[in-house]
Each structure stands twice: as C-alpha cells, then as structure tokens.
Structure 1
C-alpha cells in the first residue's frame, strides 16, 4: 500500500494564493467602477429628463380676474302689455306642415379650383360633418358667405348639392 504524504507548503503555493486574491480584488474593483459609472449616468443624465419641468410663474398668474358686470335685459312695458293681449287662434284641423326649404339667391357663380375637389360641409368649420363633394372645375353658385368671408355656402349646378366650403378654393366667374 502506498500512502500519500502531504506535501509541505512551499513559497510558490503561498504566492499562488496571493496572486489569486489580487486578481479577485482587481475584478471586484473594476466591477465597482462600472456599477458606479452606470449609476452616475442614470442618476444625473436619465432621471432629470423623466420628469416634466415646473410651470413658470408669470405676473398675470397672480392677478385676480376682474368681475364681469351683470347685464340685465328688461323689455319695455309696452311690449309686455302687447304680448299679454295677444289672442291665439286655435285651428280645428290638425295639419302637419311640411318644412319649406328657403330659396337663397345666387350672389355669384364660380368654379372649383382645387385639383382634388372639395368636401361640402354642414357648418362653416373644419370639424363639421361631411355632406357631399364637388369635383375639380365643377360649376357652382355661391349662395351666402360667412361673416369673416373665409367660408362660402355653395350649390353645385349639375347635382344641386349644397354645403359650406373654403372660399379660397373657388374661382369667381
């Protein structure tokens, strides 16, 4: 039988342990530097941009709004007296009246100058519903204009469709 003897510790064995410990400490040191760099980048660069800035305060913010004067509308006494003396006639026949469409007079005629045509809208604004369309170079009659003259109410000559369009999309004849 052979017995194994414990080898005596030599100087090389103790140096090997020392080198392994130094290497492990170096790896941990560099790992700590990388973690510190990532944390610093996150804390000082990323985090400040994740929150909205505070709203600036202006002098107008501290002023109290002025009270609006109350407007009271009163009808003249004569009009009230006339309204109270009106007698309403009752009809014995209940007849359903058909709503009559008001006929608008043509202010001027024009043609559509938009190459893709126009969308006819129910009201003079971009958010109103679409009710029809007009092709390029279609003949139209302008029936009325908005107070700011940005929109016009038109009727197409061939289809008799009516609606609001922007006034800049028409050539006046």
Structure 2
C-alpha cells in the first residue's frame, strides 16, 4: 500500500529534524529537498531549511528561509528571532532591531525579546535604548544577568558608567 503524500512529508520532516539534531545539515537539506508538496507545513519546512543553512554558516540564504516562514506565521517568535539573528550577522542591524521590535509587539511577556533588543541597541550605539530594554528584561527575569558577562553584544557598553551602575544595582537586588 503506497504511503500518502502527507504521511511521506511528515516522515521527511521528522527525518530532517533528526539530521539537524545530529548536526548533519546536508542530510537535512537533502531530505527537505525531496518533499514534493509542503502543503500546510510551509512554515516548518522553511524553519528547518533555514536552521540547516545556519549550521552551514550560510546566513543570507538562511535569512531568506526565515523570512519565508515569517510570511506564513507573522507573529511566530522563533521566526522573528531567527530573522533578527541573521540580520545582525549580515550587517543589517537596523533590520535586526525592527524584527525584534515586531517580536515585542506580539511577545511582550518574553524576557529574551527585551534582552535581544538591548543587545542590538548596544551594538547600534544606542546606549539609552539598550539600557532601557536591558533594565526591563532584568525586571522580568533576573536569570538574564548570568548571560551578560559572556555577551559580546554589550562590549560597546562595558566601560560605560551607566551600564556598570545598572549591572551593580540589578545584581544587588537579588
């Protein structure tokens, strides 16, 4: 008995997910490339394809896939965050900020959205925006403090007295 196309597609998507979990992006891309009709799985296929390309370091094509996924599900946080991540790495920081601002519109209660906005504003040299978003992120989730020492996005602010004051103030309020 032949497998219907939706079952075959489901198996191919699961196989691609497995290959990605094993850090085998070429195998995942090959599996995704064999899907004849993505049907109602366009978002998932685009996200998986983008993730595979990210593993290969192919930022611009990955960004294209994440934008395609975003078209399918405009409020989906994962697509917006991946778009922003790629925009940053292809030197389109204003678009990374725009993607995170859009994510914030739909996900105001997710601390990492605010944290990422702080990161991107820091890189853009927008100190007061960065500190404002970072302070708000800390108020939502103090665990984010643990990320800051290793976060290179805050390097432009490390020696800034206002940044240091925010870090000291927030650390003392545990």
More helix by share: 2
State if a TM-score over 0.5 links the two structures. Answer: no
TM-score by length of 1: 0.24
- Structure with larger RCO (C-alpha < 8 A, sep 6+): 1
State which structure, 1 or 2, has the greater radius of gyration over its C-alpha atoms. 1
- TM-score (norm: length of structure 2): 0.23
Higher share in strand:
1
